[in-house]
Structure 1
Amino acid sequence: MADALQRCGWAQGDPLMEAYHDQEWGVPMHDPRDLWEMLLLEGFQAGLSWRTILHRREGFRRAFEGFDPAVIALYGAEDVERLMQDEGIIRARAKIEATITNARAFLAMRDAGEDFSAWIWSFVDGKPRMGDGQVVLASTPASLALSKALKAKGFKFVGAVTVHAFMQAAGLVNDHALTCPCRDKPGQGMG
């Protein structure tokens, strides 16, 4: 059955990746906290594969207390050291420290009355953009613009390539292959 679906090639051969592709990847996210979590996970992916992150996602959620930005913003040096010892996550000090910084930036936006979701979606005029389905770009003018804007707000590990991967995962960009059933069902996935 999996072969008949002709899902995107990157998601084939691993049941967890297939389920993620079929049910989550490219489905438009609008909840601010969910978008923030995805942005953080994509930051942890920098230099690694999404498969590595996906297989540790529950470890990340546990270690970062459900990705609650109000909790993470209060983390200090002891928390960084605790996380550096946690084998359930990627133990990269710069990425861990960036997560704390990003929690503070997220909360600063919220406290200033900015809706993170509306702000993120404004970079694609509020609706998913369609990729051509044949060539998947590493970054786009939209991901570069969002990357610069995130950095201006104090976010870390949000380069244009990371941000483009985030935009794909969160459904701001539909980069499903032409042969993938999810391409024509934005927001629905295959399940």
Structure 2
Amino acid sequence: MYDSLGLDLKGLSEQAFLDAMEGFDELKKEGLLKNDSIITVIDFDQPSINKRMYVLDIKHYQVLFNTWAAHGRNSGSLMATSFSNAMSSNKSSLGFYLTDEPYYGGNGYSLKLKGLESGVNDKAMVRAIVLHGADYVSQSSINELGYLGRSFGCPAVPRALSRPIIDVIKEGSVLFIYNSTYHPAARYAAG
């Protein structure tokens, strides 16, 4: 699938894809997925100026979206290099998430994310780590800053794409935030 979708040409590392699919398969076996057609991979090994978010339809072998995704302001500027699960850290959390329900909040139409990895991202709900649109996720921010604008830890996407992405991935699909420095012992702890 990696080769047939041309994901290498779109910048997604093969290791990120393989890790994502391994976790997806495990979560599917555990019966946690309501939507087992879609997987979202955010590759934080790439700089923020790259379109490093991939929404994949794995049943129909399609790349549905390939766009920018912001990382937390305290995770780094151009590159995300520091991650945390702590309250008020303003850092991104890595690992596997299950998408929850959409809602309207301070950033408009947004999507709740349930972190599945104990000590890694399981505080996502209490930290209000959600997928949302933001004006700072844009070419104009890159032009002005030299990197994408940053969030308080949320994987923010371009405002114009937030609703279409949320409507595709909401309510029970896998979202995986990858970085090559992250090798959890209990990667798929669903707790």
The TM-score with structure 1 as length reference comes to 0.27
Larger gyration radius, structure 1 or structure 2: 1
Pick the structure with more strand per residue. Answer: 2
**Larger relative contact order, structure 1 or 2 (CA cutoff 8 Å, min sep 6):** 1
The TM-score with structure 2 as length reference comes to 0.27
